[in-house]
Chains A and B, each alone.
Chain A
Amino acid sequence: MNGFEEYFAMGGDGRFIWSAYAVAALVLIGLAVASVWSYRARRSEFNVLQELDGGTPRSDDGNP
C-alpha cells in the first residue's frame, strides 16, 4: 500500500471518518448555497420592483 492509500484508510476507520467529513461538508455547503441563492433572488426581485416604481433602486447598503 502506498502512502496515499494508507492515509485514506486511516488505520481501517477511513470510511467512518470520511463519511463524517462528507456529511458535514454537504450540509454546511448546501445550506450556504441555498441561503445565498435565495438572498440573490430576493435582491434582484426587489431591484426590479423598485425600478418599476419609478424610483432609483434603493441600494440597501451600497453592496452590489
Chain B
Amino acid sequence: MVNLHRFANPNRFMRLSGLILPWASVVAVLTFPVGLYLALINSPPDYEQRETVRIMYIHVPAAWMALFSYTCMAAASAVALIWRHPLADLAAKSIAPVGACFTLICLVTGSLWGQPTWGTWWVWDARLTSVLILFFLFVGYMVLFDAFDDPTKGARAAGILVIVGFVFVPIIKFSVDILELRTLHQGASVSKLSAPSVHESMLWPLLVMALAYAAYFISLLLVRMRSAILAARVRSLRMMQAQRASRAAIVPERP
C-alpha cells in the first residue's frame, strides 16, 4: 500500500506545491486566451445551433470540472475520514469553493444556452436538477464545515455529507444517456474519444478550454491549500506567543 503519510508533511507539501504552482498558473494564463481565440473567432457556427454553440466551450469544461472537483473532494474526504490524513481535509475544503464556482458557471451558461436553443431557461429534468443539487452540496459542505465550534467535528460532518452526496455524480454523468427521452439536454458528444461526434474544428477549442479549466483548478487548489496551511501556522504561532506572554507576566510576581 502506498504510504499516504509520506505526503502528509505540510513542509513537504509547501515545497512541492511551490514548485508546481508557477507552472500550473502559467499554463492557465496561456491556455485561456488561446482557448478563447479558438472558441470565439477560429471556430465555425453550428449548422443547427448557429453561433450559440460557442457557449459549449465554456459550459462543457465547467461541467466536467464540476464533476471532477466533486469526485476529488469526496475522495479527499474519504481519505480524511479513514486515514486521518492531515492534508486531506485541507484539500477537500480548498476544492469546495472552486467546485461551487464551476457548477455555478455550468448552470448559468447552460441556462443562457437553453433559452435560444430550447426556448426555455430551465427544465426540472434529471440532469439539470442533479447539477443544481451538486451546487447545493458544494455550498452545504462549506456551510457545514464552519458550522461547528470544534473544527474536526465540522470537517467530519461535512466529509460525510460529501461522501453520501457522491451518489449524484453517476446520476449526472449518465442522466443524458439513460434518461435521454425525458430530458431536453443533448447527449454527451465527447464520450468516445476515438470517434467523438464533434467535428475537429469544435473539438480543439473544447479541449484547449478544458486544459485551461484544469490548470486553473490545480492553481487555485494549491493556492488555497497553501493559504490554509499558513493560516494554521499563524494560529499556532499566536498561541505560542500568547503562552510565552502569559508566562512572562506570571513569573515576576513570584517571590
Contacts and interface: CB of A to CB of B under 8 A. Distances in A.
Contact of B230 (A13, A19, A43): A43
A46 B50 contact: no
A23 interface: yes
A9 B216 CA distance: 29
A17 B233 contact: no
Contact of A10 (B54, B58, B219): B54
Interface in A2-30: 10-11, 13-14, 16-17, 19-21, 23-24, 27-28
A31 B105 CA distance: 12
Label chain B's interface by main secondary structure: helix
Contact of B220 (A21, A24, A32, A43): A32
Contacts of A45: 230, 234
B192 interface: no
Residue with the highest number of chain A CB atoms closer than 10 Å, among B62, B116, B219 = B116
A4 B51 CA distance: 15
Given A16-B112, A17-B51, A35-B224, A27 B18 contact: no
Contacts of A50: 237
Contacts, number: 101
A53 B237 contact: yes
Contact of A13 (B52, B98, B224): B52
Interface of B: 11, 14-15, 17-19, 36, 40, 45, 50-52, 54-55, 58-59, 62, 97-98, 101, 104-105, 108-109, 112-113, 115-116, 216, 219-220, 223-224, 226-227, 229-231, 233-234, 237-238, 240-241
Interface of A: 10-11, 13-14, 16-17, 19-21, 23-24, 27-28, 31-32, 35-36, 38-39, 42-43, 45-46, 49-50, 52-53, 60-63
5 contacts: A11-B50, A17-B112, A28-B105, A32-B216, A49-B238
